[in-house]
Every structure is written in C-alpha cells, then in structure tokens.
Amino acid sequence: MTTSTRTEAVNQLVRFDKVQRTAHWMNALLFGVLMFTAIPLYFGSFFGIVFPRHVIQEIHLWSGLMLPAPVLVSMAGPWGRRMREDVRRFSYWTRSEIRWMKTLGRSPLDADKYNPGQKANALFVGAVIVVMWATGCILQWFRFFPVSWRTGATVTHDFFAFAIFAAVAGHVFMALTHREVLVSIFKGTVSEEWAEHHAREWLDEEQVSN
Ligand code: HEM
C-alpha cells in the first residue's frame, strides 16, 4: 500500500482519487434513491402521493440492480488501483484497531488511513450491497424460489433496510461533524497536519514511499 499520494501543493496528501470520489457519490446516489423509494414500498399507504406504485417499484428495482456497479467498475481496471488498495486496507485489522473498536475508541490507536469505525462502515456497506442485491432479486423473481426462500428474503431485506437507515444516519452525522474528512471526499486531499493527528501510520507510509 505504498502508492505515491503527495500533491503539488505543500502539506497535502491525496486521500481519494477521482475514481474513488466518483464511486462514492454514485454509490451514495443509488443508496439515496433506494432508501427514498423503500419508504412507500414498506408503508404502502404512501403510494400515489407523488408517483404511482409501479413507477416506484421500477425505480427501486433498477437502481437496486445497478447498486454493485460503482464499486465493481471502480475496482475493475488499471484506474482502480487505489480503490483496490483501500479495499485491502478495510479487511486488514491490527490488534490495536480491534481493541479500539471493542473499547469504543477509548484505547490508544496506531491510526491507519481509515479509523476502525470507518473500516467497519465500509465492510458493512460492501456486505449490504451483496445481501440487498441477492434478496432483492429473490423478491423480484419470486416464482423461481420456494416459499421459505421468499419469506427469508423478505425478512432479511427488511431487517437490513432498517440497519442501512441507521448506518447511513450515523455516517452522515460523522461526516458533517468532521469537516476535513468531509472536504476530502469532494476535493480528494487532506493536510499532513490532519494525517499526523488522525492517520499517523498512513502518513509514515506516505513519507517512506516519497
Ligand atoms: C439501500 C438498499 C435497499 C433498501 C433500503 C431497500 C428496502 C426495501 C424495502 C423496505 C422494501 C419493502 C419490503 C416489504 O414490503 O416488506 C423493498 C422491496 C423490494 N426491494 Fe429493496 N431495498 C434496497 C435494495 C434493493 C436492491 C439492491 C434490490 C435489487 C435487486 C431491491 C429490490 C427490491 C424488490 C424487487 C422489492 C419488492 C418490491 C415490490 O413490492 O414489488 N432492493 N426494498
């Protein structure tokens, strides 16, 4: 994980390249549309207020089928090197990170590019894309599955839908209360000073690779 990330401007490090930022915002848009359309799908009485039922169902289905695309495309080719590096980072946990997570941030941390909360969020998002996609396909093409699968898929789809609303609320709250991280998902960079305080291990990696 030693790609050069220094920018021309002094004291700035590239945290997200264009591919990662595009993938993030495409993913956010699809999640937003799915969550918005999920409300009338769950509470049937909302139907018809703005759009008729079949329109909402079609929007939900097509944005659902597209959901894995931003992550897969952003990782696929030569353009996805940084994305693949970060996905490897998400699945690599040190003892200090596990301890930090268990103590809810009260133990010392050798901070990586992403803190354990951010890593857990990224893993959660990856997992729900798979779960929602699979269960959504069963809900749509239910006639090819036994009743027990259909029931299981409905319960799982609903359960994860609630978890997604909670996780997205937490994610947005953390983003809005951590200004430099928020700016980095628009601009792509963070200051070395920020990295020194919040991502020391990553800063060391960057300094070695430059
Ligand atoms: C952010 C992700 C998602 C959320 C929050 C979400 C939420 C929901 C909710 C709450 C329902 C209503 C279930 C019920 O009536 O008990 C639903 C239905 C459905 N979802 Fe999703 N979903 C998501 C992703 C997906 C994906 C990825 C697919 C893709 C294939 C999908 C396909 C469907 C289908 C086909 C239905 C049934 C619609 C109908 O009533 O005809 N969903 N979803």
Mean pLDDT, the chain, as a whole number?
92
Task: Determine the distance separating the centroid of ligand 1 and the alpha carbon of 143, expressed in angstroms.
Answer: 16
Examine the pLDDT at 44 and tell me if it is beyond 90: no
Q: What is the mean pLDDT of residues 189-209?
A: 91
Please name the CATH architecture into which domain 12-209 falls. Up-down Bundle (1.20)
Question: What is the model's pLDDT at position 47?
Answer: 64
Q: Judge whether 85 and 17 are in contact, CB under 8 Å.
A: no
Separation between Cα atoms, residue 174 and residue 168, nearest integer Å? 10
Reported as a pLDDT band with limits 50, 70 and 90, residue 2 is very low
Tell which residue, 17, 28, 27, has the closest CA to residue 81: 17
Reported as a pLDDT band with limits 50, 70 and 90, residue 210 is low
Q: What is the mean pLDDT of residues 30-36?
A: 97
Tell which residue, 127, 129, 135, 123, has the closest CA to residue 87: 123
Question: What is the model's pLDDT at position 6?
Answer: 55
Separation between Cα atoms, residue 20 and residue 179, nearest integer Å? 19
Summarize pLDDT for 100-146 with one digit per residue, the tens: 999 998 998 988 999 999 999 999 999 999 999 999 999 999 999 99
Provide the residue ranges of all domains of the chain, joining segments of one domain with +. 12-209
**Token pair of 89, please?**
């980072």
Measure the CA angle with vertex 1, ends 17 and 117; round to 5°. 75
Pocket of ligand 1 from Cβ distances under 6 Å: 31, 34-35, 38, 41-42, 57, 60-61, 64-65, 67, 132-133, 136-137, 139-140, 154, 157-158, 161, 164
Question: What is the model's pLDDT at position 10?
Answer: 55
Instruction: Give the residues across from 190 on adjacent strands.
Output: 13
Examine the pLDDT at 53 and tell me if it is beyond 90: no
Tell which residue, 58, 71, 81, has the closest CA to residue 28: 71
Examine the pLDDT at 1 and tell me if it is beyond 50: no
